[in-house]
């Protein structure tokens, strides 16, 4: 036991020589349910690549939207097509007409023609079948759904629901609670403060939205989760006004640096109008005006070779989101080895959006094992109906992660965060203490250490891992504690100190 303590006193580098036999035994002997429980209970550090509007589970959006009448909002959703639009309607625009379950707040619903109003119903008036359709409409739950469904329908359906700061605050709290139960201590979420609307459709000043976020994060409910939160703001890379957006977001982040710690470029990379070097001159101009602002840029989220990762580093990015096709750019891989640039790995996202044909083809283990810093993250977990435990389960079962590699992933998820230095050191210390305590407890008690651990998972794990943890009470909320661990958890994993 002295050796274990010494390793954590002298730092993570010394930990690499530690005994891994106990974790090898876990991987060899644990049932899938036991391994999942182990990973669920395990401290995980943070999640650095997480779109807040993509992180809301369908059930969370539903509950939050129905609760908004207290703030004066009522929502309608499209449940039928009355062929009200002209026949030359552009179905490939931002708001396609032939899209069921598109959501409008009442002020926008009242602007529709009588014919179009007949296509919509209030959320609270939906039949059970319509509610099921609504819930399924904003998650990838069919084998034939993929990249086009995600980029071309999910966000367009949510629509006005994402422009209510009270709903976004509810989704933030839902995520903090769920991630806290999974053992996370830090979230760095992509979440803006512009474009929000009052019930009458008039704009809400961004500073008012920031004040609401601060109030939520200071609340007892948020504090009780044990999760520290910071935000990035985003620029839609292929928008005609993307340069203007970037200038506005730069000024905004500079004004709120304690809460907003970076800027991200988002949107499909296969839309060529958003190529990274489009923004080089704008960023150089902004860096003449403002102290440094962190950049974490989506790059390499493609299934064909390009130089977007390299070009994003030239823009000043410190973290690369996805980096799937980095494997096709050996010179940039050499640049990133043992360097201070990190790749945010999203295994489930890359599978469901068809950037890899299966997990076995994902380049993650190559990056990890040649020295490119990486960390696991969830991207749009609500739309996958998954969690961070699922990401670790995929990584362990497909790539045989060592315990040292798992701990490195957890540390990276804090070490490469954009949070201020003092908070980062506090979080690193907390993570190191928690992961050491977790290991020590498991070595002493074996599976008895998890007698009070009740994993919470969702449809992704149920479908892909055949691991379903139904609520103890069928009528209980989806996120209630689960209790279907194997009746007899073996104790042959206990390690004598």
For residues 396 and 37, is the Cβ–Cβ distance under 8 A?
no
Q: What is the pLDDT of residue 85?
A: 67
CA-wise closest residue to 375 among 51, 45, 52, 55:
45
377: left (phi over 0), alpha (psi -120 to 50) or beta: beta
Contact 167, 382 (CB under 8 A): no
What is the per-residue pLDDT for 143? 87
Contacts of 149 (CB under 8 A, 6+ apart): 140
Structure tokens at 194: 């512009």
Q: Which residues contact 53 (CB under 8 A, 6 or more apart)?
A: 155, 158, 162, 168, 171, 191
For residue 471, give both structure tokens: 């609520």
Torsion of CA 385, 391, 397, 403, to 10 degrees: -150
Residue 371's φ and ψ, nearest 5 degrees, are: 100, 15
| pLDDT on residue 2 | 29
| Ordered per-residue pLDDT tens for the chain, 497 residues | 323 332 333 333 333 335 789 999 999 999 999 999 999 999 999 999 999 999 999 999 999 999 998 999 999 999 999 998 655 455 444 567 889 999 999 999 999 999 999 999 999 999 999 999 999 999 998 888 999 999 999 999 999 999 999 999 999 999 999 999 999 999 999 999 999 999 999 999 999 999 999 999 999 999 999 999 999 999 999 999 999 999 999 999 999 999 999 999 999 999 999 999 999 999 999 999 999 999 999 999 999 999 999 999 999 999 999 999 999 999 999 999 999 999 999 999 999 999 999 999 999 999 999 999 999 999 999 999 999 999 999 999 999 999 999 999 999 999 999 999 999 999 999 999 999 999 999 999 999 999 999 999 999 999 999 999 865 444 444 554 333 333 333 333 333 33
What are the structural domain ranges in the chain? 45-55+165-434, 74-158
SS3 260: strand
What 3-state class would DSSP assign to 306?
coil
In the CATH scheme, what is the homologous superfamily, with its name and number, of domain 45-55+165-434? Metal-dependent hydrolases (3.20.20.140)
| Separation of first and last alpha carbons in the chain | 6
Alpha helices in 151-193 (DSSP H): 155-158, 165-181
């Amino acid at each position: 036991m002295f050796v274990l303590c010494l390793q954590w006193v002298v730092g993570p580098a010394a930990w690499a020589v530690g005994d891994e036999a106990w974790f090898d035994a876990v991987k060899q002997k644990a049932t899938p349910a036991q391994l999942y429980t182990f990973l669920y209970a395990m401290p995980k550090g943070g999640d650095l690549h997480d779109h807040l509007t993509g992180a809301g589970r369908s059930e969370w959006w539903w509950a939050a939207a129905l609760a908004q009448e207290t703030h004066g909002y009522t929502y309608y959703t499209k449940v039928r097509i009355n062929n009200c639009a002209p026949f030359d309607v552009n179905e490939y625009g931002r708001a396609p007409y032939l899209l069921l379950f598109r959501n409008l707040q009442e002020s926008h619903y009242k602007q529709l023609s009588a014919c179009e109003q007949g296509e919509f119903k209030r959320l609270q008036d939906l039949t059970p079948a319509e509610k099921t359709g609504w819930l399924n409409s904003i998650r990838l739950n069919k084998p034939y759904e993929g990249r086009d469904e995600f980029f071309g329908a999910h966000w367009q359906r949510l629509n006005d629901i994402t422009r209510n700061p009270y709903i976004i605050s509810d989704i933030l709290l839902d995520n903090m609670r769920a991630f806290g139960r999974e053992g996370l201590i830090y979230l760095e979420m992509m979440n803006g403060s512009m474009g929000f609307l009052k019930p009458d459709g008039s704009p809400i000043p961004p500073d008012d939205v920031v004040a609401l976020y601060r109030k939520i994060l200071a609340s007892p409910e948020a504090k009780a989760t044990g999760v520290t939160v910071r935000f990035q703001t985003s620029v839609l890379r292929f928008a005609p006004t993307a340069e203007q957006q970037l200038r506005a977001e730069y000024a905004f982040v500079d004004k709120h640096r304690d809460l907003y710690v970076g800027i991200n470029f988002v949107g499909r990379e296969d839309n060529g109008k958003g190529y990274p070097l489009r923004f080089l001159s704008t960023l150089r101009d902004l860096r003449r005006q403002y102290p440094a602002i962190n950049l974490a840029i989506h790059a390499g989220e493609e299934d064909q070779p390009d130089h977007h990762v390299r070009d994003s580093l030239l823009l000043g990015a410190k973290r690369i989101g996805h980096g799937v096709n980095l494997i096709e750019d050996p010179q940039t891989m050499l640049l990133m080895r043992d360097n201070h640039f990190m790749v945010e790995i999203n295994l489930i996202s890359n599978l469901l959006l068809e950037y890899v044909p299966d997990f076995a083809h994902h380049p993650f283990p190559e990056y990890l094992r040649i020295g490119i810093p990486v960390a696991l993250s969830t991207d749009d977990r609500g739309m996958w109906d998954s969690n961070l435990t699922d990401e670790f389960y995929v990584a362990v079962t497909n790539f045989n992660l060592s315990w040292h590699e798992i701990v490195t992933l957890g540390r990276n998820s804090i070490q490469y965060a954009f949070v201020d230095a003092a908070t980062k050191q506090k979080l690193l210390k907390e993570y190191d203490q928690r992961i050491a305590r977790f290991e020590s407890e498991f070595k002493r008690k074996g599976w008895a250490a998890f007698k009070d651990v009740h994993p919470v998972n969702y449809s992704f794990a149920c479908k892909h891992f055949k691991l379903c943890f139904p609520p103890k009470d069928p009528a209980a909320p989806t996120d209630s504690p689960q209790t279907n661990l194997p009746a007899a958890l073996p104790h042959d994993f206990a390690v004598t100190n």
